[in-house]
Amino acid sequence: MNTLNKRYIWTFFLVLLLIMVAAYLFNIYASNPAPKYYSSDNQAIQCVTVRDTEGNIIFQTGEPVHVEDEYINEMNQHYIVTKVSGAEGIAEIKTQVPPPLLPPKDDLSSSNIFNHSLPTLAEGENIHVVIYHTHTDESYTPTSGTASEPGNGDILDIGKALQTSLQEEGISVTHSDNLHDPHDINAYNRSRRTAAQLIKEQPDAVFDIHRDSAPAQAYQTSINGVDSARVMIVIGRSNPNMQTNLEYAKRIKAAADELYPGLMRGIFMGKGDYNQDLYPTSILFECGTDQLSADGVVIAVHSLSDAIIKVLREK
């Protein structure tokens, strides 16, 4: 093979590589944001509305909803999803949960279903929390004019606000701004590497911060007379150790219900593990929805931080 032919071959592969890189970058930064998931008939789903058998709305979410998913609402009524068709679902009451009480810490720390025990809760500067974002593109349309900003989503600022609020109360926080774009089915695989790295710090809790894509009214509330977004906790029921994560989520909800009634929408237990199998005090928070301003979400996470701190400092 002469020199000229070699040069043509190298030029061809170089051009091909440049085209592939350009296509990848275009997919991340220039394409429209994909909906959170697709239904079984391949229809794009932005939000699912789940109703009871009388047609009353139980909850709405952009999270994938499947039969046997469960939901504990604001009043601690426990539902189980019995039917899903496209963007509509039906759920039936599973049980009426007693009024929320903060479970004794011993109930949680005595769990031995994890290979590692729960972190020892401490006071003040000895408490450490880690924060990351699986969907780093998520944004708030009234704030940024778009629901998705690959590489620079508003959700990163919400994580920063939670970090600042916790640090002001003496909590040590590592906030990862690692990017996991694009917003696709593999985002959790990419963020799993970030979560695995963060838990090497042996934190007291691990928080994955998101925003939902439900209608605005599903997440609107008022905290002490100030307009605020609401927060929903998501727990992965496919995690074989989900009960430990769920008990921790219930403690945070109970603390928030005591301090700021109405802040918490509820707890959604969805199919999947959301990387919560990595750590017993791993929680996913849906902070507001893309239809609300980020300002109201900042107010929400400041309130949420008070509930988190209350749980972290319990003895």
- Does residue 41 have a pLDDT over 90? no
Are 49 and 90 in contact, with CB atoms under 8 Å apart?
no
Between CA 280 and CA 4 the distance in angstroms is 61
Between CA 30 and CA 16 the distance in angstroms is 20
Percent of the chain at pLDDT exceeding 70: 76
> What local confidence, expressed as pLDDT, does residue 260 receive?
97
> What local confidence, expressed as pLDDT, does residue 97 receive?
59
> What local confidence, expressed as pLDDT, does residue 151 receive?
87
- Does residue 107 have a pLDDT over 50? no
> What local confidence, expressed as pLDDT, does residue 166 receive?
98
In angstroms, what CA-CA distances link 69 with 2, 27, 140, 244, 269?
65, 32, 27, 17, 6
How many structural domains compose the chain? Answer: 3
Between CA 74 and CA 257 the distance in angstroms is 8
> What local confidence, expressed as pLDDT, does residue 308 receive?
98
The reply to whether 127 and 75 lie within a common domain is no
User: What global pTM score does this model have?
Assistant: 0.81
CATH number of the domain enclosing 129 = 3.40.630.40
Residue of 233, 290, 226, 309 lying closest to 264 (CA atoms): 233
Residue of 225, 155, 219 lying closest to 187 (CA atoms): 155
Percent of the chain at pLDDT exceeding 90: 71
The reply to whether 14 and 89 lie within a common domain is no
76: domain range? 37-96
